[in-house]
């Protein structure tokens, strides 16, 4: 049966507590900071999509310069605190740390990053000063990581920014699309407030492009427009039974959980989650933490091809989720309009496809999982109609941009998920910086505050490490 309020308030509090607790003492942070070798040409830094100067901010912590450390981080990534919680660091900075080569624990870069930035947000340190107004005005669609990152860089340069956000809160994916045990709604609110505290950025909430905001009007009213509207809901499965009560979209499920609170969100007793990306893991683990007795993840390839990291998979396994490898949904069964089961095809791997992963091929075998809820998490689709209606050149709904972030429309720039189809928060932050650089260049204003981009592809991540995980008590 699908129902809400399965657990007590205390149980929700335990299940959704921060999965990565911060350093308990200042000395504990110093001990880790002092282990850093401050490598020349640091590989950790090259693996950061926002090029945070990692050895520098760690050195600043070890010399007790916490304000300097937070400034170093935020200069490259204004979402540095949130990224310290949600980045897949085992395949980015921490995965590249030289300690991996010595078979020792990597420096806990994310935890140190949080150590400096959370203090800055908590104590409201005014680390950035906005330059005097240039009189130039820029409109941004979306107060997510790309939009706010773009806005912060522009505001620092004296641009007056207006953001049009369709939700009632800022933060985008960080606020509405990530497991609450990684980032709490309160944290997201504080982070957005901190970013906006620089001034010069006005956010108009509940304003949506194509509904109550027109791109044409923005083009005539502002000196430039930046599109950072992200992507939409999950693609459909196109199988029988998808219309049954109990089939839900993972994005919507996570949104409801974050927007309404844990006890208000209905969850099944036996849940199947289709897909194995980060969103699928977040949906599966949260279904379990909301009180589902069984959660089965259905993935059509093998461990070698999975899109989530090993760290994410370990969280799901530790939460008691079962993984069905080489399984694809074939039909959703129902009774009186409600989900009762999921029929899966047993797959085998064929030749590599366009993504260079081996394609799953159906065998003649099937199996059935008894479930009362199916959560679809098979990748998000771009806002195709919106993009087409506005005459934006695109690739299957993904907005096409040139090197400096410009679209085919006059004065219009774009970046983040609406361009790349959906990547990590940290990629969206960098896209916002790139967009701001393109806009500043277009407006003839020197971009003094935008850090150069490093080429992460020149460094290969080494063996990842597994940060300490607080286990769900089952
Ligand atoms: Fe420090 Fe590791 Fe980066 Fe070297 S690779 S600078 S040891 S965090």
pLDDT in tens, 22-76: 999 999 999 999 999 999 899 999 999 999 999 999 999 999 999 999 999 999 9
**Protein residue whose Cα sits closest to atom 4 of ligand 1:** 39
Question: What's the rounded Cα separation, in Å, for the pair 219 and 3?
Answer: 47
Cβ-proximal residues to 412 (8 Å cutoff; 6+ apart), any chain: 215, 219, 224, 225, 226, 227, 392, 406
Ligand 1 atom closest to Cα of residue 38: 6
Q: Give distance in angstroms: CA of 464 to centre of ligand 1.
A: 14
Ligand 1: centre distance to CA 95 (Å): 10
How many other CB atoms are there within 10 angstroms of residue 98's CB atom? Answer: 16
Task: Encode 101-139 in three state secondary structure.
Answer: HHCCCCCCHHHHHHHHHHHHHHCCCCCCCCCCCCCCEEE
Cβ–ligand 1 distance for 98 under 6 Å, the answer yes
Question: Measuring CA to CA, which residue among 345, 367, 344, 349 is closest to residue 302?
Answer: 349
CB of 52 within 6 A of ligand 1: the answer is no
Q: Whose Cα sits closest to atom 1 in ligand 1?
A: 36
pLDDT at 469: 33
pLDDT for residue 352: 85
| pLDDT per residue as tens digits for the range 109-121 | 999 999 999 999 9
How confident is residue 458, by pLDDT bands cut at 50, 70 and 90?
very low
pLDDT score recorded for residue 207: 97
Buried b (16+ CB within 10 A) or exposed e, 213-244: bebeebbeebbbbbbbbbbbebeebeeebeeb
State if residue 43 touches ligand 1 by the CB under 6 angstroms criterion.
Answer: yes
Distance 133 CA to ligand 1 centre (A): 39
Kindly give, in sequence order, each residue whose CB lies less than 8 Å from that of residue 230, ignoring residues fewer than 6 positions away: 142, 144, 146, 172, 173, 416, 417, 418, 422, 428
The answer to whether the Cα torsion of 175, 19, 425, 124 is positive or negative is positive
- Tens-place pLDDT, residues 125-134: 999 999 999 9
pLDDT at 472 over 80: no
User: Is the model's pLDDT at 1 over the cut of 50?
Assistant: yes
Task: Please report which confidence band the pLDDT of residue 451 belongs to, taking 50, 70 and 90 as the band edges.
Answer: low
Return the residue whose CA atom lies nearest to atom 2 of ligand 1.
97
- Taking the centre of ligand 1 as the mean of its atom positions, its distance from the CA of residue 153, in whole angstroms, is 27
Q: Sorting pLDDT into bands at 50, 70 and 90, what band is 354?
A: confident
Q: Is the pLDDT of residue 450 over 60?
A: no
Question: How many other C-beta atoms lie within 10 A of the C-beta of residue 450?
Answer: 20
Instruction: Give the pLDDT band (50/70/90) at residue 467.
Output: very low
Residue 444: is its pLDDT beyond 60?
yes
Q: In whole angstroms, what is the distance from residue 225 CA to residue 214 CA?
A: 11
| Average pLDDT of the residues in 378-390 | 93
Q: CA neighbours within 13 Å on the CB side: how many for 10?
A: 1
Rounded to an integer, the average pLDDT of 180-195 is: 95
Looking at residues 193-215, what average pLDDT do you find?
Answer: 97
Query: What is the phi/psi pair of residue 141, to 5°?
Result: -95, 115
Ligand 1 lined by 196 (C-beta under 6 Å): no
Tokens of 179: 């497991």
Spacing, Cα 471 to ligand 1 middle (Å): 28
pLDDT category of residue 234 using cuts at 50, 70 and 90: confident
pLDDT bracket for residue 463 (50, 70, 90): very low
Q: Report, as an integer, the average pLDDT of 264-272.
A: 97
Pick 451 or 365 by higher pLDDT.
Answer: 365
Ligand 1 centroid, distance to 414 Cα (angstroms): 33
pLDDT tens per residue, range 271-324: 999 999 999 999 999 999 999 999 999 999 999 999 999 999 999 999 999 999
Measured from the Cβ of residue 411, the count of other Cβ atoms closer than 10 Å reads: 19
Task: Look up the pTM and report it.
Answer: 0.90
Is the distance from the beta carbon of residue 55 to the nearest atom of ligand 1 less than 6 Å? yes
Question: Is the minimum distance from the CB of 38 to ligand 1 under 6 angstroms?
Answer: yes
Ordered by where they begin, the domains of the chain are 20-123 (1.10.1060.10), 137-232+381-443 (3.50.50.60), 247-376 (3.50.50.60)
Please work out whether the CB of residue 61 comes within 6 Å of at least one atom of ligand 1: no
Q: How far is the CA of 433 from the centre of ligand 1 (A)?
A: 25
Determine the atom of ligand 1 nearest the C-alpha atom of 96. 5
Enter the tokens of residue 251. 């994005």
Compare 371 and 351 and report the one with higher pLDDT.
Answer: 371
Average pLDDT, the chain: 92
**Distance between CA atoms of 388 and 396, rounded to whole angstroms?**
10
């Amino acid at each position: 049966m699908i129902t809400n309020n399965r657990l007590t308030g205390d149980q929700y509090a335990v299940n959704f507590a921060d999965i990565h607790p911060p350093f308990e003492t200042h000395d504990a942070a110093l001990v880790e900071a002092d282990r850093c070798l401050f490598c020349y040409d640091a590989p950790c830094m090259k693996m950061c999509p926002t090029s945070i100067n990692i050895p520098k901010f760690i050195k600043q912590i070890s010399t007790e310069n916490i304000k300097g450390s937070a400034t170093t981080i935020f200069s490259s990534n204004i979402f540095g605190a949130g990224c310290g919680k949600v980045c897949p660091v085992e395949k980015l900075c921490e995965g590249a740390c030289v300690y991996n080569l010595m078979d020792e624990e990597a420096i806990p870069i994310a935890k140190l990053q949080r150590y400096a930035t959370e203090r800055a947000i908590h104590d409201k340190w005014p680390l950035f000063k906005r330059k005097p107004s240039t009189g130039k005005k820029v409109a941004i669609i979306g107060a997510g990581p790309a939009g706010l990152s773009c806005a912060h860089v522009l505001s620092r340069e004296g641009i007056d920014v207006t953001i049009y956000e369709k939700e009632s809160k800022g933060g985008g994916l960080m606020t509405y699309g990530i497991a609450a045990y990684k980032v709490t709604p309160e944290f997201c609110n504080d982070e957005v407030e901190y970013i906006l505290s620089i001034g010069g950025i006005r956010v108009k909430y509940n304003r949506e492009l194509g509904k109550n905001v027109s791109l044409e009007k923005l083009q005539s009213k502002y000196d430039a427009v930046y599109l950072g509207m992200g992507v939409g809901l999950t693609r459909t499965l196109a199988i029988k039974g998808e219309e049954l009560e109990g089939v839900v979209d993972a994005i919507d499920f996570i949104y409801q959980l974050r927007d309404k609170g844990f006890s208000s969100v209905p969850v099944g007793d036996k849940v199947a989650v289709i897909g194995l990306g980060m969103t699928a893991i977040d949906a599966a683990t949260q279904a379990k933490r909301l009180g589902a007795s069984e959660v089965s993840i259905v993935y059509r390839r093998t461990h070698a091809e999975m899109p989530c990291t090993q760290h994410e998979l370990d969280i799901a396994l530790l939460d008691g989720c079962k993984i069905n490898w080489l399984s694809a949904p074939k039909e959703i069964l129902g009774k009186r309009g409600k989900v009762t089961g999921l029929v899966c095809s047993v797959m085998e791997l064929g030749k590599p496809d366009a993504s260079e992963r081996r394609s799953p091929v159906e065998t003649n075998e099937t199996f059935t999982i008894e479930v009362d809820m199916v959560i679809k998490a098979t990748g998000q689709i771009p806002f195709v109609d919106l993009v087409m209606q506005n005459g934006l050149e695109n690739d299957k709904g993904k907005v096409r941009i040139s090197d400096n972030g410009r679209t085919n429309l006059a004065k219009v720039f774009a970046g983040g998920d609406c361009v790349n189809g959906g990547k990590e928060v940290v990629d969206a932050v960098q896209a916002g910086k790139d967009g701001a650089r393109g806009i500043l260049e277009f407006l003839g204003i020197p971009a003094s505050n935008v850090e150069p981009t490093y080429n992460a592809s020149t460094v290969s991540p080494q063996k990842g490490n597994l940060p300490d995980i607080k286990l769900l008590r089952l």
